[in-house]
A and B are shown apart, each in its own frame.
Chain A
């Protein structure tokens, strides 16, 4: 888990009622004015060990003001390819998705990244070039205690889920993600006393996660991370150091810290990361009255 991110966020949450009393009613909506807006390119691509490469996103940074439609800022017509550096000429090319601007699909849908292999991605468009390299983490073993829960039905009365995993070669950290797969329109809260009127925005989230340091091997998942009954997907991923730093910095920024978002994209921003993951699904039963 990320140290200190959580305490700061929790502290802010705790203090927010006190702070609200002090600041009430002190918020003004302010038009933002930026005089050095730079529409730099953003490249996002993930290579998952053992799974076919599915997509790559290429967009431009948009102005803060005005309605934001990602379709308006996708970069189209880029020459985009992915290459395994230790097995030339093993190259995967991409083409525009006609349905979504800035969304690129692979020419070969069976192209599968391997663990411990180094890859390079490169995009050229309108005289610009962005590129990055990454190494895909190798496989690792994951054990769920006290019993395997894939395909199972759980309730909050069960023991907390406990995860244990082995090291993944080339990993710079690990992430845990939990996601409710229920339809947005049919979300049923686990807590029978749940009142949507009292809920803050965080409690409405359908997904949550933790970050674990490279040397962490266990994690207990508190039930507080589960808000909705229904199907869930849980994943534990070994990630590259670039992605770990990128995500860590995002957590810091989201909790109010001022750090520059790291990127491994040359000529732009974004992230090109390798992952190795275990994921499984289960069902959360509503809590009895």
Chain B
């Protein structure tokens, strides 16, 4: 609790400091897209003819203080936009925030080209934040996709340091962490199970995504609750100038999106939705093969409304709705086995952004997020098993930013999460698991981005928690710094402690419909990690950025589902706890501008885990399945002409670990002759976990887009080819002991998957 007090005192000191800091004659305003009116986060704002400048915050708001009255000129830049030169008259009266509009940069000759300028290329490099990779929605939508379904989590998997457990999973494994160690935010609201189709696709509709930022490690104090990394997804705010739409049909799904201004120019809206239509395909397969293929579909929808209450205040309400449903009946006509599986997320969040005073920017909001899954199995009226899991997360969050100071940019905030968990797993009169609990987690943070000198910037931060269940209190210190060695080179460092308050029981790869989220309670300790990251950045040209980073993460109180548990009423019943570590080196050469954009990345990494005194690998150290020693990736997007775009990615990585059988023997059950058992009782003896590796994987994906007009409307035909040369990655090794000698089979994953989609914008 001492940590809590320190944090509260720091917050109060910060607020009084900020309120008292009234620097005369400022310029303040918002940087927005001239065509859509959407804010441009982290845009660069400079005072022409001086070395003074600042970066806008995530809502596009900036303040430059201590100006002489008179006429000044601002230079405002943002990647992919024309640099704007805006004359501003500074008076002795506090001005209302101005709006600076930037026009998107486009080459009219034969292809869209993103153009760099010296200032704009530097914009995202002044932050001391390490391990941060921003990706805009345009880049995501142009990347190669599986089954023509653009997927942001699969796009994230192409970033060095991010692994996939297999081709079947969109879940990101980042720097040795499991997917639940990544905080996934959509419009500042936590998303708990971002998966469709048992993890094959993510729930994020790429049409709805404006930008994302992946922080692979060493994240600042403003983020918390997870022990690994942060994926911050911001959805489109909607065009404030004119209504626009999109409709797209693919082989497995259709998507639509609509955005536009609210009446009287009081804001904007953006909605998008998609739904699969597997059903006719599945029905045809059922008839063609006379087999029991289940029915399945998923859908999701995003919506966002922005109300401009005043020039200084905007209220945003965003919602998400997504569901998967699978039903099936199997077996003989009079002995049908019925199966139902359904899972999905719903969330509503509101956020008020308000220019509180000359230097203070307030952002506050409340939200509710619900993840629910259920499955049931019955046979001819006998309920074999039924399980229901609901996680409700009511949240409140407030952030206060102090802008306008030359050397300090202070941010503080508080968040409150009220978790309500209900999980029941029962069969007949036996209730295996009955967890019905709730707890409140309160967090407060303060961080300062302090420009110590023109060459050195540091960002100290503290995040304090109080978790009601178990009365846990923790304080996580964080520190980042950047040292500029000339205009083109930077050294970055970050270190900190990261505490996790919720754990997942997962039965699939990465995220799956079986995921059960359980917050820490009085029976267990929270997972925490200590991370250290050292990075070096070099800009050989304005278009290119080279990054190399080394990291080490120490993990304590790691949890994994106890496979041998058969009952539970508290969190500790479901988990075994252990420890782990991860370390590695990453390199990335990125080109954000020009007709060819993309990156080349390589990571060399190790991660190991151990759950002492358990049946998980007999309590010994092991490499988890997502451990990959080498991982090399190339992503390239090329505007070939005014009509053709080409996007490719190629990846090579060390093969997945698997558990090789060490031998075989005959099991004997009491009263059952071995020759009456499967395989005459022959069984293989598994070795230590993931004691062998499959051969290395490599895969080429390509998407070609043909742009044209359809009834006068811009349209695009996309041909997406997944795994172009059909080199199938290994997934599992299967031993068929019914055969003698044992038949050893390696199951491989997806072959070449070419699919078309067609979209029309209006």
User: Quick one: which of B719-757 are within 8 Å of A by CB?
Assistant: 728, 732-735, 738, 740-751
| Shortest Cβ distance from residue A103 to the other chain B in the assembled complex, whole angstroms | 10
A 1-34 binary contact with B (CB < 8 Å = 1; else 0):
1111011101101110110011100111111101
User: Quick one: which of A273-289 are within 8 Å of B by CB?
Assistant: 273, 275, 277, 279, 287
Residues of B within 8 A of A68 (CB): 664, 682, 740-742
Given contacts A249-B564, A262-B615, contact A67 B741 (CB under 8 A): yes
Interface of chain A: mostly helix, strand, loop or mixed: mixed
A 213-224 binary contact with B (CB < 8 Å = 1; else 0):
101111110111
Contacting pair A14 B326 (CB below 8 A): yes
Asked if A61 is an interface residue, CB under 8 A from chain B, the answer is yes
A17, A46, A248, A287 — most chain B CB neighbours (10 Å): A17
Asked if A201 is an interface residue, CB under 8 A from chain B, the answer is yes
Residues of B within 8 A of A156 (CB): 334-335
Asked if A39 is an interface residue, CB under 8 A from chain B, the answer is yes
Asked if A111 is an interface residue, CB under 8 A from chain B, the answer is no
Asked if B583 is an interface residue, CB under 8 A from chain A, the answer is no
Identify A13's interface contact among B330, B676, B742, CB under 8 A.
Answer: B330
Contacting pair B380 A1 (CB below 8 A): no
Contacting pair A216 B330 (CB below 8 A): no
B 292-332 binary contact with A (CB < 8 Å = 1; else 0):
11101000000000000000000000000000001010111
Residue of A nearest to B737 (CB): A68
Asked if B643 is an interface residue, CB under 8 A from chain A, the answer is no
Contacting pair A23 B428 (CB below 8 A): no
Show 15 residue pairs from A and B whose CB-CB distance is below 8 angstroms, ordered by the A residue: A3-B427, A11-B339, A14-B326, A15-B198, A26-B747, A28-B745, A39-B663, A64-B742, A193-B332, A223-B379, A248-B564, A248-B566, A273-B670, A275-B670, A277-B671
Residues of A within 8 A of B514 (CB): 7-8, 11
Contacting pair A11 B385 (CB below 8 A): no
Asked if A44 is an interface residue, CB under 8 A from chain B, the answer is yes
Residue of B nearest to A36 (CB): B662
Residues of A within 8 A of B382 (CB): 160, 220, 222
Contacting pair A218 B663 (CB below 8 A): no
Given contacts A27-B748, A30-B733, A253-B686, contact A3 B432 (CB under 8 A): yes
Q: Assuming A29-B746, A57-B668, what are 6 further A-B pairs, CB within 8 angstroms?
A: A1-B427, A8-B507, A10-B377, A28-B746, A34-B687, A37-B663
Residue of B nearest to A8 (CB): B507
Asked if A237 is an interface residue, CB under 8 A from chain B, the answer is yes
Identify B285's interface contact among A7, A21, A46, A66, CB under 8 A.
Answer: A21
Q: Which residues of A contact B (CB under 8 A)?
A: 1-4, 6-8, 10-11, 13-15, 17-18, 21-23, 26-32, 34, 36-39, 42, 44, 46, 48, 57, 59-68, 70, 73, 156, 160, 177, 179, 191, 193-194, 201, 205-207, 212-213, 215-220, 222-224, 233, 235, 237, 245, 248-250, 252-253, 256-262, 269, 273, 275, 277, 279, 287
Contacting pair B428 A219 (CB below 8 A): yes
| Shortest Cβ distance from residue A55 to the other chain B in the assembled complex, whole angstroms | 9
| Shortest Cβ distance from residue B334 to the other chain A in the assembled complex, whole angstroms | 7
Residues of A within 8 A of B746 (CB): 27-30
Residue of B nearest to A22 (CB): B750
Given contacts A179-B676, A220-B382, A252-B563, contact A61 B751 (CB under 8 A): no
Docked CA distance A279–B326 (Å): 39
Task: Please list the 3 inter-chain residue pairs (A to B) with the smallest Cβ-Cβ separation, ordered nearest first.
Answer: A3-B432, A61-B663, A26-B748
Identify A201's interface contact among B432, B682, B684, B738, CB under 8 A.
Answer: B738
Residues of B within 8 A of A13 (CB): 330
Docked CA distance A90–B618 (Å): 35
Docked CA distance A252–B738 (Å): 19
Residues of A within 8 A of B742 (CB): 32, 64-65, 68
Docked CA distance A215–B429 (Å): 11
| Shortest Cβ distance from residue A156 to the other chain B in the assembled complex, whole angstroms | 7
Docked CA distance A10–B733 (Å): 20
Contacting pair B379 A224 (CB below 8 A): yes
Contacting pair A206 B740 (CB below 8 A): no
Residues of B within 8 A of A1 (CB): 384-385, 427, 430
Asked if B672 is an interface residue, CB under 8 A from chain A, the answer is yes
Residues of A within 8 A of B678 (CB): 201, 205
Contacting pair B666 A70 (CB below 8 A): yes
Docked CA distance A3–B749 (Å): 29
| Shortest Cβ distance from residue A195 to the other chain B in the assembled complex, whole angstroms | 10
Given contacts A160-B382, A259-B564, contact A177 B672 (CB under 8 A): yes
Given contacts A27-B747, A29-B745, A260-B616, contact A3 B566 (CB under 8 A): yes
| Shortest Cβ distance from residue B71 to the other chain A in the assembled complex, whole angstroms | 65
Docked CA distance A156–B334 (Å): 9
Docked CA distance A21–B296 (Å): 14
Residue of A nearest to B286 (CB): A17
Residue of A nearest to B387 (CB): A7
Residues of A within 8 A of B659 (CB): 258
Docked CA distance A29–B428 (Å): 42
| Shortest Cβ distance from residue B256 to the other chain A in the assembled complex, whole angstroms | 26
Docked CA distance A254–B339 (Å): 21
| Shortest Cβ distance from residue B469 to the other chain A in the assembled complex, whole angstroms | 24
Asked if B617 is an interface residue, CB under 8 A from chain A, the answer is yes
Contacting pair B741 A66 (CB below 8 A): yes
Docked CA distance A207–B677 (Å): 7
Contacting pair B332 A194 (CB below 8 A): yes
Identify B384's interface contact among A29, A46, A222, A223, CB under 8 A.
Answer: A222
Given contacts A248-B564, A253-B686, contact A44 B667 (CB under 8 A): yes
Asked if B593 is an interface residue, CB under 8 A from chain A, the answer is no
Contacting pair A37 B339 (CB below 8 A): no
Asked if B186 is an interface residue, CB under 8 A from chain A, the answer is no
Residue of A nearest to B671 (CB): A235
Asked if B263 is an interface residue, CB under 8 A from chain A, the answer is no
Residue of B nearest to A3 (CB): B432
Contacting pair B748 A10 (CB below 8 A): no
Contacting pair A28 B748 (CB below 8 A): yes
Docked CA distance A217–B743 (Å): 40
Asked if B291 is an interface residue, CB under 8 A from chain A, the answer is yes
Docked CA distance A10–B292 (Å): 13
Contacting pair B566 A64 (CB below 8 A): no
Asked if B661 is an interface residue, CB under 8 A from chain A, the answer is yes
Contacting pair B615 A249 (CB below 8 A): yes
Contacting pair A220 B676 (CB below 8 A): no
Asked if B337 is an interface residue, CB under 8 A from chain A, the answer is yes
Given contacts A18-B294, A222-B379, contact A64 B430 (CB under 8 A): no
| Shortest Cβ distance from residue B692 to the other chain A in the assembled complex, whole angstroms | 8
Residues of B within 8 A of A70 (CB): 665-666, 674
Asked if B420 is an interface residue, CB under 8 A from chain A, the answer is no
Identify A279's interface contact among B375, B671, B750, CB under 8 A.
Answer: B671
Residues of A within 8 A of B686 (CB): 253, 258, 260-261
Docked CA distance A133–B749 (Å): 46
| Shortest Cβ distance from residue A104 to the other chain B in the assembled complex, whole angstroms | 12
A14, A22, A220, A275 — most chain B CB neighbours (10 Å): A14
Residues of A within 8 A of B750 (CB): 22-23
Asked if B433 is an interface residue, CB under 8 A from chain A, the answer is yes
Residues of A within 8 A of B379 (CB): 222-224
Residue of B nearest to A26 (CB): B748
Residues of B within 8 A of A61 (CB): 662-665, 685
Identify A4's interface contact among B328, B507, B687, CB under 8 A.
Answer: B507
| Shortest Cβ distance from residue B385 to the other chain A in the assembled complex, whole angstroms | 6
B 223-242 binary contact with A (CB < 8 Å = 1; else 0):
00000000000000000000
Asked if B425 is an interface residue, CB under 8 A from chain A, the answer is yes
Residue of A nearest to B292 (CB): A17
Residues of B within 8 A of A223 (CB): 335, 379-380
Asked if B341 is an interface residue, CB under 8 A from chain A, the answer is yes
Residue of B nearest to A70 (CB): B666
Asked if B110 is an interface residue, CB under 8 A from chain A, the answer is no
Residue of B nearest to A47 (CB): B670
Given contacts A14-B326, A222-B380, contact A59 B666 (CB under 8 A): yes
Contacting pair A6 B745 (CB below 8 A): no
Residues of B within 8 A of A65 (CB): 741-742
